[in-house]
């Protein structure tokens, strides 16, 4: 160590620390990837059909009670022009067969995901089963258009005639 200058020794220590951090990150990444691969193999498949799936993508989350329980594996346009989504749900989660699936967003401009509204049935959706109830995505632009058109319609309504309802003074 006496052959190195202080600057060289400092660089050697920094390089060693960077190498250790890289090894830790690579180990954690590899472990996490293996855990996720094992979890994907233990998921079961459920299907949900919607009229509109605006803003959803493959890989988006499926949640129940705000907790991630799965993801969207694929989507297919059916012959009746409705979209059927393939959802992968964790094996340890049982969904009552009268539950509903709704497309919601995490805020006004946030990402969309599938929210499962659990039913009260004692029977559960089986592997390769379907949701009986679904709620389509609300498109923000359409909602704003509806609000604007309601406001315009309200403006065009004639004002109530107040001349007939004028209070009279009694002497």
Render the burial of 23-47: b for 16+ CB within 10 Å, e for the rest: eeeeeeeeeeeeeeeeeeeebbebe
The pLDDT-based confidence of 27 (bands split at 50, 70, 90) is: confident
pTM beyond 0.75: the answer is no
Q: How is residue 135 written in tokens?
A: 């709620």
pLDDT tens by residue, 138-163: 777 777 888 888 888 888 766 566 55
Query: Backbone dihedral region of 122: left (phi > 0), alpha (psi from -120 to 50 degrees) or beta?
Result: alpha
Answer yes or no: is pLDDT of 164 > 70: no
Which positions ≥6 away from 58 have C-beta within 8 Å? 72, 73, 74, 75
The sign one gets for the Cα dihedral 16, 18, 21, 25 is negative
**Residue 36's pLDDT is what?**
57
**Residue 81's pLDDT is what?**
93
């Amino acid at each position: 160590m006496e052959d190195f200058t202080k600057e060289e020794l400092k660089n050697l220590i920094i390089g060693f620390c960077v190498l250790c951090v890289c090894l830790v990150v690579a180990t954690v990444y590899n472990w996490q990837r293996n855990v996720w691969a094992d979890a994907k193999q233990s998921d079961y498949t459920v299907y949900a059909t919607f009229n509109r799936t605006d803003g959803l993508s493959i890989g988006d989350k499926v949640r129940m009670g705000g907790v991630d329980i799965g993801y969207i594996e694929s989507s297919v346009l059916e012959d009746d022009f409705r979209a059927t989504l393939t959802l992968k749900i964790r094996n340890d989660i049982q969904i009552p067969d009268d539950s509903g699936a709704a497309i919601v967003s995490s805020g006004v401009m946030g990402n969309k995901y599938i929210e499962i509204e659990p039913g009260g049935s004692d029977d559960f959706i089986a592997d390769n089963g379907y949701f009986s109830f679904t709620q389509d995505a609300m498109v923000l632009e359409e909602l704003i258009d509806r609000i604007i058109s309601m406001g315009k319609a309200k403006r065009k309504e004639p004002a109530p005639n107040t001349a007939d309802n004028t209070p009279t003074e009694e002497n």
